[in-house]
Amino acid sequence: MREYLLTLCVTAAVTYLLTGPVRKFAIVAGAMPEIRARDVHREPTPRLGGIAMFFGLCAGLLVADHLKNLNEVFARSNEPRALLSGAALIWLIGVLDDKFEIDALIKLGGQMIAAGVMVMQGLTILWLPVPGIGTVSLTQGQSTLLTVALVVVTINAVNFVDGLDGLAAGMVCIAAAAFFMYAYRIWYGYGLEPAAPATLFAAVLMGMCLGFLPHNMHPARIFMGDSGSMLIGLVLAAGAISITGQLDPDSLNLFYGSERATVHQTVPVYIPLLLPLTIIAVPAADLVLAIVRRTWRGQSPFAADRGHLHHRLLEIGHSHSRAVLIMYFWSALIAFGALAYSVNSASLWIVLGIVVLSAVGLILLLLPRFTPRAPRWAEAFVPPRYRRRAVIEPVPAAVAAEEDRPEPGEEPRTPVGAGVSGVNGATAIGGRAQLDRRKTESSR
């Protein structure tokens, strides 16, 4: 565990320290696009944050290669080198897109090529555990197609959700944390070495996200851009492919008793990691909804719009920070809920806890519809949006004109506040003063 923590800290430190210089480079290079209609930020912000994240990935893998225990991962498996090759290619495509905004089909082709490079070096899905059937071996063609599809779906799911400050990095960090706990349990809990590369990938991915988040939280000083979002999406997919397609479920028979029991026991995490429907369930759902929405409108599935889940949270009244935290909450609930269920699927308390937390999440989601108002004695301790606003009755124009009419031989009255706020200020402040005078006269 100490070597994984060291790798994580080195990756985070290198990413964090390089993000500042990368921001200055992005400004000089002109990687600051104009504000678009779908953007939620109001000032041009530099991109290319993926440059710092890529060098953080390289630093983490380099340190792990020189550690005593993690060095065995590089000696016995070619997967770290396959990951680095695919990551370098997808990162280069992302950098070009951040600077020149290349065509969506070209990016899709680059994603498929990067996935193919990893497949050629051995990072591929060899078999699948299917409930009720057992382990299903895949042909080379099936393995390649499934691996490429998983990589492309994961990359675009993360890319689509990158719409608010700190959203993509935080959600992927949560997914990587859940993934690390699962892979570490398989690796050290059961002693199965094929889970070691996935554990390393998850640790490095957490470091990349944690190092970048301080620069990317609202208000963001720099965006990761496609060079960062596609990169962390590929790393997340590589970990899922490594542990799902490389770890033979037959090796778990020793712990579960039979192959069929093994498949049933591991399917709560195996199948979701493969598709992926729990580890990045929220980005995947956003991806599917975006494709359906754009296709229904007759648009290209890659045409950008303001219909993503985070945009809808802003539209119903959530603030920027609260929308991000709500997305964090649902990502953590789904990822760690699936993780807990995979450990003990027979526990009723786990299911009950997931149901209760889901109800809490729905309440938080609908909070702007039912904005609470604090009692008057507690208004000093809550944000202004939860305080009761005093309602001032408007003064009829005829009454105001009658009261402001000067007496015979008297100078015309100047409305209170007219010299400060103009006509609007005079009407508001003068009307309030007249209302106070009327209340005083009526009480006499």
Banded pLDDT at 278 (limits 50, 70, 90):
low
**Residue 340: is its pLDDT beyond 60?**
yes
Q: In this model, does residue 6 exceed pLDDT 80?
A: yes
- The token duo for 384 is 């202004």
Residue 134 has a pLDDT of: 64
Q: CA angle 262-248-238, nearest 5°?
A: 115
**Higher local confidence (pLDDT), 8 or 168:** 8
Predicted pLDDT at 329: 87
Maximum average pLDDT range among 206-215, 312-321, 355-364, 380-389: 206-215
Tell me if 50 sits within 8 A of 90, measured CB to CB. Answer: no
Q: What percent of the chain has pLDDT over 90?
A: 27
- Residue 135 to residue 305: CA distance in whole angstroms: 41
Q: In percent, how much of the chain has pLDDT > 70?
A: 65
Contact of 256 with 265, CB cutoff 8 Å: yes
Whole-Å CA distances, 171 to 27, 39, 91, 116, 159: 27, 19, 20, 26, 12
The SS3 call for residue 217 is coil
316-340: average pLDDT: 79
Question: Is residue 48 within 8 Å of residue 27, measured between CB atoms?
Answer: no
Burial class (CB in 10 A: 0-12, 13-18, 19+), 424: exposed
- Tell me what the mean pLDDT of segment 68-85 comes to: 90
Q: Is 127 helix (H, G, I), strand (E, B) or coil?
A: strand
Identify which has the larger pLDDT, 43 or 433.
43
pLDDT of residue 240: 85
Please state which of the ranges 151-160, 294-303, 422-431 shows the lowest mean pLDDT.
422-431
- Total Cβ atoms within 10 A of residue 84: 18
- Give me the pLDDT at residue 214, please: 93
pLDDT bracket for residue 96 (50, 70, 90): very high
Q: Distance from CA of residue 343 to its chain's centroid?
A: 25
pTM for this predicted structure: 0.73
DSSP 416-432: TTHHHHHHHHHHHHHHH
Asked whether the predicted pLDDT for residue 326 surpasses 90, the reply is: no
For the cut 80, the answer to whether the pLDDT of residue 150 exceeds it is yes
Q: Any idea which of 11-25, 200-214, 219-233, 272-286 has the lowest mean pLDDT?
A: 272-286
Euclidean distance between CA atoms 406 and 421, whole angstroms? 22
Per-residue pLDDT band for 421 (boundaries 50, 70, 90) equals very low
Of residues 87 and 258, more confidently modeled: 87
Region 363-384: mean pLDDT is 68
More confident residue, 329 or 276: 329
pLDDT tens string 405-417: 555 555 555 444 4
pLDDT value for 42:
59
Neighbours of 35 (CB within 10 A): 12
**Comparison of pLDDT for 312 and 36, the residue scoring more:** 312
pLDDT of residue 40: 53
Q: What size, in residues, is the chain?
A: 444
Distance CA 159, CA 433 (A): 56
Average pLDDT of the segment spanning 287-309:
69
Residue with the bigger pLDDT between 376 and 223: it is 223
Residues 17-32, mean pLDDT to the nearest whole number: 91
Mean pLDDT of 145-166: 86
Per-residue model confidence (pLDDT) at position 99: 87
pLDDT band of 251, cuts 50, 70, 90: low
Q: How high is the mean pLDDT of the chain?
A: 76
90/155 Cα distance (integer angstroms)? 10
End-to-end CA distance of the chain: give it in Å, rounded. 80
Neighbouring C-beta atoms of residue 198, cutoff 10 Å = 28
Binding site for Mg(2+), by residue number, is 159, 226
pLDDT at 426 over 60: no
Indicate the pLDDT class of residue 425, thresholds 50, 70 and 90: very low
Per-residue pLDDT, 215: 93
Q: Name the least confident of 24-28, 44-48, 417-421.
A: 417-421
Question: What tens digit of pLDDT does each residue of 116-133 get?
Answer: 999 999 898 887 766 666
Residues of each annotated binding site:
159, 226
What is the separation of C-alpha 233 from the centre of its chain, rounded to a whole number of angstroms?
A: 11
Please, which pLDDT band fits residue 420 given cuts at 50, 70 and 90?
Answer: very low
